[in-house]
Amino acid sequence: MKPLMKLEHLVAGYGKVSIVRDINLEVCEGEVVALLGPNGAGKTTTILTVAGELTPLGGNVRCLGLDGNTSLHERARAGLALVTDTHAVFMRMTIAENLRVFRTAADAVVSVFPELASHLDRRVGLLSGGQQQMLALGLALSRQPSLILADELSVGLAPIIVDRLFSVLRAAADGGVGVLLVEQHVHKALAIADRVYVMDRGRISISGTAADLRARVDEIQASYLAGAPS
Cα separation of 126 and 132, whole Å? 9
pLDDT tens, position by position, 15-73: 999 999 999 999 999 999 999 998 889 999 999 999 999 999 999 999 999 998 899 99
What domains does the chain contain, in order, with CATH numbers? Answer: 3-79+146-227 (3.40.50.300), 85-144 (no CATH)
pLDDT at res. 229:
47
Split at pLDDT 50, 70, 90, the class of 227 is: low
Mean confidence (pLDDT) of the chain: 93
What does the pLDDT read at residue 230?
Answer: 35
Instruction: Report the predicted TM-score, pTM, of the whole model to 2 decimal places.
Output: 0.92
Q: Please report how the helices 159-174 and 129-142 are oriented relative to each other, as an axis angle in degrees rounded to 10.
A: 10
Give kind and range of the element (H or E) at residue 85.
Answer: none
Of 118, 123, 117, 136, the C-alpha closest to 95 is: 123
Are 98 and 139 contacting, i.e. CB atoms less than 8 angstroms apart?
yes
d(CA 177, CA 32): 9
Residue 88: what are its φ and ψ, rounded to 5°?
A: 60, 40
Q: What is the dihedral of CA 88, 91, 95, 97, to 10 degrees?
A: -100
